[in-house]
């Protein structure tokens, strides 16, 4: 998710214009942000929250139950991020289509939330497996 701060999600290439869509909003290259409403604020806030929650849940390695709870919460936030990003993407498509006919190019930032979601699910599965192993070892004692 840290990569989203440095990469764009998509670009819309028109006849004489290049629109860049990222978590910071929709930019017309060479000018200020175009109005997308509250979507960029939500995307930026969710990206920061997901990143902070991921780092915090990694630090909870001594309490696996809490760690599993925070990983589940992080998965829900990632799904919310994907929904809001798609809604903002549709709005930015409308804005860029109104300016000129455009060609859409998807960049690395468009797959980053899906990669994060898959890695989050794998982490949850590994934490759950580790908790089961510890509980089985407690039963042997």
pTM for the full model?
Answer: 0.85
Residue 51 pLDDT more than 90? yes
Buried-exposed string 13-23: b where 16+ CB fall within 10 A, e elsewhere: beeeeebbbbb
- When pLDDT is averaged across residues 56-63 and rounded to a whole number, the result is 92
**pLDDT at position 12:** 82
> For residue 39, with 0-12 CB atoms within 10 Å meaning exposed, 13-18 middle and 19 or more buried, which class applies?
buried
- When pLDDT is averaged across residues 90-112 and rounded to a whole number, the result is 81
Residue 105 pLDDT more than 90? no
Predicted confidence band of residue 112 (pLDDT cuts 50, 70, 90): very high
**pLDDT at position 125:** 96
């Amino acid at each position: 998710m840290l990569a989203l701060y440095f990469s764009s999600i998509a670009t819309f290439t028109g006849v004489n214009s290049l629109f860049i869509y990222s978590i910071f909003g929709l930019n017309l290259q060479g000018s200020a942000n175009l109005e997308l409403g509250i979507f960029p604020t939500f995307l930026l806030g969710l990206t920061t929250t997901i990143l902070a929650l991921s780092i915090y849940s990694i630090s909870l390695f001594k309490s696996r139950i809490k760690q599993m709870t925070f990983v589940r919460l992080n998965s829900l936030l990632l799904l919310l991020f994907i929904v809001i990003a798609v809604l903002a993407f549709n709005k930015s498509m409308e804005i860029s289509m109104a300016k000129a006919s455009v060609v859409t190019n998807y960049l690395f930032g468009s797959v980053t939330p899906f990669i994060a979601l898959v890695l989050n699910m794998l982490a949850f599965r590994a934490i759950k497996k580790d908790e089961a192993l510890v509980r089985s070892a407690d039963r042997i004692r």
